[in-house]
Amino acid sequence: MELGPSRIAQSRAHVPGETLTRNTPVPVDRETAAALAEIIFPPDVRPQPPIFDEAIEIAVQSIIEEWNNLSILEENGMQPSRSCLIYGPPGTGKTRLAMWMASQLDIPVILVRIDGLISSFLGTTARNIGNLFAFANKYRCVLLLDEFDAVAKLRDDPQEVGEIKRVVNALLQNLDSRRDVGITIGITNHPKLLDPAVWRRFEVQLEIPRPKFDVRVQIARNFIAPFKVSESHLKLIAWFTEGATGAEIESIVRTYKRSLISKADEPIKLLETLRRFATLNSARLDPSRRELLFSDAAQLFRIMHQDEQLCLSYEEIGSIAGKDKSTISRTVGKKAE
């Protein structure tokens, strides 16, 4: 299932505040003069929806609908959940999801990389956080706090004990200050590093896991466009990427597409691409599947034919291996005897 545009996209989120324009000055770090945030206006990005399994897509859709109906909920005495923490392994589509959710509300995004708020000057980080939230609270926007765990990394430095306390307190107070004014999305790879009090400030907590087989097939299909390859090719990519993330599948598919451009439609290129990826990314693939890519053809074809998820026909295997169906059948049969 692919997330579609929100069914009620026409009823925009009624978030209070002044309107951000391209001339609105963005707060800067006083020491370095670096901007503390990037403003992204809806017409500038048309993010594509990420692909997740159905349960996540339904949950995401319901959050968007709630946000699009903020005022109706409030009129009826209900408190919408205005803050969402998205967490999960790197490369699973969290930033893409957040940008897409924000785009569905049709209001600008104030994108903050927490790294950029952290200053080497004592006390400045907390002040940056304060300035940034004051800015976000003033305008109609989605506040997107990406790589939220950066704050937690300060903890590794024993000299920073005082500073981290100040920073976490500043974050807590400022997250509270947004409770009634805006929509906030936080993103982290390391939910365990987050201070539990920070964690609790987010009303919705959405875990994005590594994609399952069916979702990997869809992700592969999404990135292969505008090329069209048979379903068996997509299934094979998904099967060998057990445990991989959307970003890794995207990378394999890009390599595969490049190989298709040089000499169209040459079948064995898929296996070549997978082998190359397995060699260059040895830690990323499931070791037993990886080994299979380099084992003898009979063994590989037999698994392709017999595996529950793949169950490819001899003809399909032939189309992947560049051989005819009877050769595949003979190869598989020979070893099995």
Ligand X SMILES: Nc1ncnc2c1ncn2[C@@H]1O[C@H](COP(=O)(O)OP(=O)(O)OP(=O)(O)O)[C@@H](O)[C@H]1O
Residue 104: exposure state from Cβ atoms within 10 A (0-12, 13-18, ≥19) = buried
Can residue 331 be called a binding residue for Mg ion (CB under 5 A)? no
Residue whose CB is nearest to ligand X in the complex, by number: 246
- Per the rule left: phi > 0, alpha: psi between -120 and 50, beta: everything else, 13 is beta
Which H helix or E strand runs over 145? Answer: strand 142-146
What sign does the CA torsion over 145, 147, 149, 152 have? negative
Kindly state the smallest distance separating residue 324's Cβ from Mg ion, in Å.
45
Kindly state the smallest distance separating residue 291's Cβ from ligand X, in Å.
26
Task: Name which of 97 and 317 has its Cβ closer to ligand X.
Answer: 97
Angle (deg, nearest 10), helices 314-321 and 269-280? 70
Q: Which residue has the tokens 């034919």?
A: 305
Residue numbers at the binding site for ligand X (CB under 6 A): 50-52, 90-96, 189, 211, 219, 245-247, 250
Footprint on residues 87-106 left by Mg ion (CB under 5 A): 95
Task: Name which of 223 and 239 has its Cβ closer to ligand X.
Answer: 223
Residue 219 partner contact from Mg ion, ligand X, none using kind-dependent CB cut-offs of 5 to 8 Å: ligand X
Kindly state the smallest distance separating residue 337's Cβ from ligand X, in Å.
43
Task: Name which of 12 and 210 has its Cβ closer to ligand X.
Answer: 210
Kindly state the smallest distance separating residue 297's Cβ from ligand X, in Å.
32
Reduced to 3 states, what is the DSSP secondary structure of residue 35?
strand
DSSP result, 182-232: -EEEEEES-GGGS-HHHHHT-SEEEE--PPPHHHHHHHHHHHHTTS---HH
State CA 235 to chain mean position distance. 21
Which H helix or E strand runs over 321? Answer: helix 314-321
Residue 52 partner contact from ligand X, Mg ion, none using kind-dependent CB cut-offs of 5 to 8 Å: ligand X
Residue 90 partner contact from Mg ion, ligand X, none using kind-dependent CB cut-offs of 5 to 8 Å: ligand X
Amino acid at 138: K
Task: Name which of 240 and 301 has its Cβ closer to ligand X.
Answer: 240
Q: Which residue has the tokens 């109906």?
A: 69
Residue 1 partner contact from ligand X, Mg ion, none using kind-dependent CB cut-offs of 5 to 8 Å: none
Kindly state the smallest distance separating residue 174's Cβ from Mg ion, in Å.
21
Task: Name which of 6 and 95 has its Cβ closer to Mg ion.
Answer: 95
Amino acid at 32: T
Kindly state the smallest distance separating residue 146's Cβ from Mg ion, in Å.
6
Task: Name which of 91 and 191 has its Cβ closer to ligand X.
Answer: 91
Can residue 245 be called a binding residue for Mg ion (CB under 5 A)? no
Q: Are 46 and 168 in contact (CB under 8 A)?
A: no
Q: Could you give the CA distance from residue 265 to residue 320 in angstroms, rounded to a whole number?
A: 10
Kindly state the smallest distance separating residue 35's Cβ from Mg ion, in Å.
19
Task: Name which of 2 and 176 has its Cβ closer to ligand X.
Answer: 2
